[in-house]
Structure 1
Amino acid sequence: MSSSATRSLIQSYYAAFNAGDTAAMEALVSDDVAHDVNQGSRRSGKALFAEFNAHMTRCYREELTDMVIMVSEDGTRAAAEFVVNGTYLATDEGLPEAQGQTYRLPAGTFFAIAGGRITRITTYYNLEDWIAQVGA
């Protein structure tokens, strides 16, 4: 896959994210996608990715801004840096109680690409920063 095709794939993924269109996001990942969740374990497969998306949609409303996408020359790897602008909608297990708090959090994601699909998604952000923003 060319670097421009990979850039377009990642842009489509984030456009779907910002539109809240998880079905479109899921269409862009491989059936065996590896999803590394910040502060969590790896989830493997499209079904677990869809389950994660449903959970996130229930608990959070987020829009990503200030997006910068970087792509390797061969198009097999990509990274994105962005700001998460969110609202905490429903209490997520083990985290502070949700009361509609808003937050603004820098984050980044690394991707692997093969066969025109995203095969790995690894996201990082500072959980302690998020907790400080939504906590007491």
Structure 2
Amino acid sequence: MSDIVKQYFEAFNAGDTEAMLACLDTDVAHHVNEGRIRVGKIKFAEFCAHMSHCYREELTDMVVFEAEGGTRAAAEYIVNGTYLATDAGLPEARGQTYRLPAGSFFDIKDGKISRVTTYYNLADWVAQVS
């Protein structure tokens, strides 16, 4: 697995946003499931702060694929989470737990992640926390 992708996921599971940011290109494009593209580390950090407020998550059963040449990577994993605080437009949070298959896709440029795209089944998540 690409070292930078490994570092990114290790930082995610440690809840270490600063270490995640260190893995990213300054102008990272963050493609969020069911959301708009956010560009730049500042927007990514704001997203992480919001997510940490509403959710506690750990990624397990990770499988990472890397394209020849190391410029692209993908990962499939299980999100094991707790819904901590109600997120706008979503069901009310009451400490519900969830287990959700998900995946991420990456572009890597000059040793940093320049694109993160994450996908999961929102309807499945809603059903689990409703």
Aligned-residue sequence identity (percent) comes to: 66
1:20 paired residue number? 15
Give the structure-2-normalised TM-score.
0.99
| CA displacement, residues 37-92 of structure 1 (integer Å, 9 cap, x when unaligned) | 00001000110000000000000000000000000110000000000000000000
Residue 72 of structure 1: which of 67, 71, 75 is its match?
A: 67
Distance 2:89 2:21 in 1: 26
2:43 paired residue number? 48
Offset, 1:101: 0.1
1:85 paired residue number? 80
Residue 119 of structure 1: which of 106, 114, 120 is its match?
A: 114
2:28 paired residue number? 33
Distance 2:77 2:107 in 1: 18
Offset, 1:8: 1.2
Give the structure-1-normalised TM-score.
0.94
Unaligned runs of 5+ in 2: none
Instruction: List, as ranges, runs of 4+ consecutive aligned residues in structure 1 with deviation greater than 6 Å.
Output: none
Distance 2:26 2:6 in 1: 20
The two structures, once aligned, show a CA RMSD in angstroms of 0.6
Total equivalences in the alignment? 130
1:104 paired residue number? 99
